[in-house]
Amino acid sequence: MKSREARRQVIVEGLADHLLKAGLPGASLRPLAKAAGTSDRMLLYYFADKNELLSATLGLVAVRLMALMEGALPGKQPYAILLPRVCEFLDSAPYKPYMRLWFEVLAAASRKTAPFHAIAGQLCDGFLQWTADRLKVDREEDRLPTAALLFATVEGLVLLNTVGRHATVTAALKGASLAKSRQRSH
């Protein structure tokens, strides 16, 4: 009765591991089952169908990512400092699998494919919240807009990193610091 939920939990852990390694293209039932130490038959015994299974797994992945990010970058920093910091640590090894998977989910979500659209939306909100929490602003009413801008910019930069455009990323960061330094010198 209760152990069913527990068993589901254990399975989902294995699925999440595999999903982070292989991504959505490698997320077919048989490989997933193998990674979780069970069979495709059992996956569809514990989950109604592949959608429910993926929803649960991506949910856990989101929880893991948020837990990873929770401890990172303590304190509050202004925009100009936070931008390169976030960009840098999201490009570090532990986050790369998450970022790759994240982009695949986004691509699927852009065609309104269930269940990706909903999940992508939630994760966007979560990440925006996380950004706002770490942001130091002069006026409190600027928090959300500034956090949104930072979020979007980081998103774009991480994306550029994943396709190997590192030079463009550093150029963009230089561009951001340019704007800030000019802001100060005026």
Which residues, 6 or more positions from 174, have their beta carbon under 8 angstroms from its beta carbon?
Answer: none
H or E element at residue 118: helix 116-133
The CA R_g of the chain, rounded to the nearest whole Å, is 19
Please state, in angstroms and as integers, the Cα–Cα distance from residue 153 to each residue in 25, 57, 94, 146, 172, following that order: 27, 27, 21, 11, 9
Options 10, 29, 99, 128; binder of DNA; rule CB under 7 A = 29
Binding mask of the shown chain, residues 53 to 92, with x at each position contacting DNA by CB under 7 A: ----------------------------------------
Q: Which is nearer to DNA, 27 or 160 (CB)?
A: 27
Cis peptide before 115 (omega within 30 of 0): yes
CB of 109 to DNA, least distance (A): 18
Q: How far apart are CA 10 and CA 6, in angstroms?
A: 6
Q: Which residues bind DNA (CB under 7 A)?
A: 3-4, 7, 27-31, 38-42, 44-45, 49-51
Q: Which residues bind its own copies (CB under 8 A)?
A: 23-25, 79, 99-100, 103-104, 106-111, 113, 117, 120-121, 124-125, 128, 142, 144-157, 159-160, 162-165, 168-169, 171-176, 178-180, 182-184, 186
